[in-house]
Amino acid sequence: MMKIALLSSVPLLLLSLTCLQDVAGETSGRGFGENIRWRPLYEGKKEAQESGRPIMIIIHKSWCGACKALKPVFAESTEIAELSRNFVMINLEGDEEPPGDAYFIDGRYVPRILFLDPSGAVHPEIFNSDGNLNYKYFYTSEEQVVSSMKEAQEKLTVNSKKVYTPDEL
C-alpha cells in the first residue's frame, strides 16, 4: 500500500518542481544546454531592459528534425555557453512563439535564432551570413551561432555591467 502511495505522488512532485522552476523565472534548456541560463519570453525581456544586455531567442518545435540536430550544437559548445552570459537567452518551443510579424522576418520555419536589443526590438540585420539567404535565421553549426552572437554583442550591448569574452571565462 505504501508503495502505491509513493508512486502516485511522483507526478505531483514533478509538477511541483516544474512550478518552482517557473516561479524562479527560469526555463529548461529543452536539450539546448542546461549550462545556459534560459528565461521565459516576458521575464527575459524585462531582464534585458534592466541589465542592458541583448536578447537571443531560439524558436523551435519538438517534432522538428533540424531543431533536434541543433540541440547538441548548443549543449556541447563551451563557446556558446560562455557568450550566453552576455545575453538574456530565451528558448521558445511550440506554441510559445510570440505573435507579430517581427518574429517571422523571412518565414515561419524552425529553428530560427533572432537577436533583439535590450528594449526588445528585433534586429533583422543580424543573421546567419554563412547560411541560405532564403532562411537567414536558420543555423546549423557552432561557428555560425558564435559569429552572430559576437556581432550582436558588439552592436546591441548597452550599459551592461560586464561583457565577458571567452578568454576571461
pTM of the model: 0.79
Question: Per the domain annotation, does 34 fall within a domain?
Answer: yes
Question: Per the domain annotation, does 2 fall within a domain?
Answer: no
Question: Per the domain annotation, does 17 fall within a domain?
Answer: no
Task: With cut-offs at 50, 70 and 90, classify the pLDDT of residue 4.
Answer: low
Q: Would you say residue 12 has pLDDT above 70?
A: no
Structural domain range at position 146 = 24-156
> What is the pLDDT at residue 6?
46
Which residues lie below 8 Å from residue 76, measured CB to CB, with a gap of 6+?
Answer: none
What CATH number has the domain bearing residue 57? 3.40.30.10
Contact 28, 21 (CB under 8 A): yes
- State the cell numbers at 45: 525581456
Number of domains in the chain: 1
Phi (first) and psi of residue 74, to 5 degrees: -70, -50
Task: With cut-offs at 50, 70 and 90, classify the pLDDT of residue 20.
Answer: very low
Question: Per the domain annotation, does 162 fall within a domain?
Answer: no
Question: Per the domain annotation, does 42 fall within a domain?
Answer: yes
